[in-house]
Amino acid sequence: MYAYRMAYDGRPFHGFQRQPDVSTVEDALLDGLAHLGVVSREDDVPTGYSAAGRTDAGVSAIGQTIAFSGPDWLTPQVLNGALPDSVHAWARAEVPESFHARYDAILRVYTYRLLADRLDEGLTRQALSTLSGVHDFRHLTSDTARTRRVVHIDVTRNDRWLCIEVAAPGFARQQVRRIVGVASAIGAGEVPLDRIGRLLSAEPLPGHLNVAPAPPEPLCLRHVRYGDVDFAVDSDAMQRMQAYLKTEAGAAATRSRSFEQAYDWLNHG
């Protein structure tokens, strides 16, 4: 039985988990396993299959983890040969047959980048500090059970960006995006800081006090930690992934600069 570290660009997909009639990361993965003969049909899953998380539509990952009983020859590089360019396996570890990628995870780390230019950085940091800790996040998720969670939030500044890292043993649905959405709205002056008290209370929340989740694209599942699992990085697979990321980063920088120039032209004539 093997566990694989997976990275993917979430933009082309409707989330990780397989769904009918839409393209997902799990679809691409299982299609690839069928193409390689690891499973007999595209709608089959291999024995012992599990995944660490179910990221939303548009959310990316570099630390997603999957596990299943597969052949020894199925290295990350071989698996990548049957996957689209936006999905990459980059490391592998041999694990016990009882291993479960979701239930054996002891920590998950998500990152989110906010453009700081139009935010009050002090207020944004204060909001995130208040949201860090042990709270009932029932008003910051669509889940109705297991909403009491412990999270640790760290914020650093990198040029024009606030880099937000949210770590916890597990997360409720949309929890990270809603945390960032609240902090962003407070930093932008759209929501008062004391709204957090209402959002973290057990009392029913009127609909007009809800805060929308932040957009999914800047969110990334960065790491999933396990106790005694030793992943071996596949250098060829890592180079392939890095090449893809470099190409996409260059394309994004070009688009961003084009929009900035258009704004300047319209603003200054």
Domains and CATH numbers, the chain: 2-104+234-263 (3.30.70.580), 107-220 (3.30.70.660)
SS3 235: helix
Nearest to residue 152, comparing CAs of 174, 129, 172? 129
Phi first, then psi: give them for residue 228, nearest 5 degrees. -120, 30
Q: Amino acid letter at 102?
A: R
215: burial class by Cβ within 10 Å (0-12, 13-18, 19+)? Answer: middle
Nearest to residue 132, comparing CAs of 195, 180, 173? 180
Q: What residues have CB less than 8 Å from 80, skipping those under 6 apart?
A: 88, 89, 237, 240
Tokens of 184: 């962003």
- Residue whose tokens read 């983890």: 65
- pLDDT (0 to 100) of residue 133: 94
Task: Report the percent of the chain where pLDDT is more than 70.
Answer: 99
Confidence of residue 57 (pLDDT cuts 50, 70, 90): very high
Range with the poorest average pLDDT among 144-148, 190-194, 202-206: 202-206
Confidence of residue 260 (pLDDT cuts 50, 70, 90): confident
Enumerate the active-site residues: 56
- pLDDT (0 to 100) of residue 79: 96
Question: How far is residue 238's CA from residue 26's CA, in Å, rounded to a whole number?
Answer: 20
SS3 242: helix
Question: pLDDT at residue 29 above 80?
Answer: yes
Nearest to residue 76, comparing CAs of 245, 246, 243, 232? 232
- pLDDT (0 to 100) of residue 257: 76
SS3 222: strand
Classify residue 12 by its DSSP letter: T
SS3 135: strand
Q: Is the separation of the CB atoms in 53 and 200 below 8 Å?
A: no
Confidence of residue 43 (pLDDT cuts 50, 70, 90): low
Q: What residues have CB less than 8 Å from 178, skipping those under 6 apart?
A: 137, 140, 141, 211, 213, 214
- pLDDT (0 to 100) of residue 67: 97
How many CB atoms sit inside 10 A of residue 181's CB?
20
- pLDDT (0 to 100) of residue 252: 76
- pLDDT (0 to 100) of residue 36: 93
Confidence of residue 208 (pLDDT cuts 50, 70, 90): confident
- pLDDT (0 to 100) of residue 143: 84
* Average pLDDT value for the chain: 91
